[in-house]
Amino acid sequence: MRILFVGDVVGRAGRAAIAEHLPNMVRDWSLDFVVVNGENSAGGFGITEAIYQELLDAGADAVTLGNHSWDQREALVFIERAERLVRPANYPRGTPGRGAALVETKNGRRALVVNALGRVFMTPFDDPFAALERELGACPLREAADAIVVDFHCEATSEKQGIGFFCDGRASLVVGTHTHVPTADHQILPGGTAYMTDAGMTGDYDSIIGMQKEEPLRRFISGIPSGRFEPAMGTATLSGVAVETDDATGLALKIAPVRAGGRLEPATPRFWLS
């Protein structure tokens, strides 16, 4: 199975990069399954129903969230009918929506998408390891799902690596989101799970993690807020990771970074080029 995971879409610039690049990637690379993190897609904070549909229309099969899940209040309502929108599984019991979704892929197979939040340097929600153990146990790779993608939305690289090894052999891909900077450690772990500490953001990299530089700089220098964070509006880079899995096992055979447009050096999975 050919899987593409796209990192945090930030604001209008990130959405423009999705519209420009994702449909071509789906077509040119014959993608079977696409997951997009959309938690910053509405003005940099949260997601709306219209944007969720926009991401699906561009080629996403599932959309994941993170610590900004509820910044747009309408998400608390529409998430119940948005079957392919996945919020963190370790939110408290009774939180609207779903922490995992079994989704039909473009080639008619079954892929499980799981989202979880880290606890190091973040709001300490329920244990992400226990939440992932529950979700992976309820829908095992090969038995109930042909592929499993875990989006771990987390600040600390060590916690992300811990989740990677915890899921190794039980997921097709474990990928980190949240820090908005792509890492260079894409690899296949010993048990066969593809791993990348952070997929990076789909946003304007002439920025401070996707936001216009002036206000974050003022806060760093003076410690005094003087305005809102606003998404940078320059040309965005679509950032993510490509994985090819073994149809027999659901585990990874190949992994490569993906970057298109904007300021970062382009990266294309050569194993999908004809």
Active-site residue list: 68
The whole-angstrom distance between residue 98's C-alpha and the CA centroid of its chain comes to: 15
Q: How far apart are CA 243 and CA 254, in angstroms?
A: 6
Residue 177, phi then psi, degrees to nearest 5: -130, 180
Q: Which two tokens stand for residue 28?
A: 């040119």
CA-CA distance, 136 to 81, in Å (whole number)? 23
**Phi, psi (deg, nearest 5) at residue 85:** -105, 120
- Interatomic CA distance for residues 91 and 95, integer angstroms: 6
* Residue 9 main-chain phi, psi, to 5 deg: -80, 120
Please count the other Cβ atoms lying within 10 Å of the Cβ belonging to residue 94: 5
